[in-house]
Amino acid sequence: NAGVTQTPKFQVLKTGQSMTLQCAQDMNHNSMYWYRQDPGMGLRLIYYSASEGTTDKGEVPNGYNVSRLNKREFSLRLESAAPSQTSVYFCASSEDVGGLRSYEQYFGPGTRLTVT
């Protein structure tokens, strides 16, 4: 099993350019997440998808859009990149949620994005 994979690993964009970050998982998880990690800020949730066909905003959704293409894939799109979006982006997945039960999240290796 590859677990959670992300592409690309590195990306440099100019202000105003657009791009899509790809994420895929092969663990048959229903839930998928996109986080950004900035120095001294920890991880902040951008968007999440509790199941195929559903997406919800997290803590910092502005400037981003997501697509849950199918159960395996969850993409993050920056329509018009800004320097403030320079960050490391992590995709994660987890098993179903039920009541108060929670499950560990499995993380991809990250995408390092620089916007100049």
Partner 1 sequence: SQQGEEDPQALSIQEGENATMNCSYKTSINNLQWYRQNSGRGLVHLILIRSNEREKHSGRLRVTLDTSKKSSSLLITASRAADTASYFCATDVGIGNQFYFGTGTSLTVIP
User: Which residues in 93-112 contact partner 1 (CB under 8 A)?
Assistant: 94, 97, 100, 102-110
Q: What sign results for the dihedral spanned by CA atoms 27, 29, 35, 37?
A: negative
Residue 14 or 53 having the CB closest to partner 1: 53
Measured from the CB atom, the residue of 19 and 45 that comes closer to partner 1 is 45
In the numeric block, which tokens belong to residue 69?
A: 């293409």
User: Considering only residues 11, 44, 67, 72, which one is a binding residue for partner 1 as defined by CB under 8 A?
Assistant: 44
- The CA distance from 23 to 32, in Å, is 9
DSSP 3-state assignment of 16? Answer: coil
- C-alpha 97/C-alpha 31 separation (Å) is 8
- The CB-of-80 to partner 1 minimum distance in angstroms stands at 26
Q: Are 41 and 65 in contact (CB under 8 A)?
A: no
- Closest to partner 1 by CB, 9 vs 79, is 9
Q: Which residue type is seen at 99?
A: G
* Cα–Cα dist 22/77, whole Å: 9
Q: Contact with partner 1 (CB under 8 A): which of 12, 27, 41, 69?
A: 41
Report the residue from 17, 19, 50, 86 that binds partner 1 according to the rule CB under 8 A.
50
Name which of residues 57 to 76 contact partner 1 (CB under 8 A).
58-59
Closest approach of partner 1 to the CB of residue 97, in Å: 5
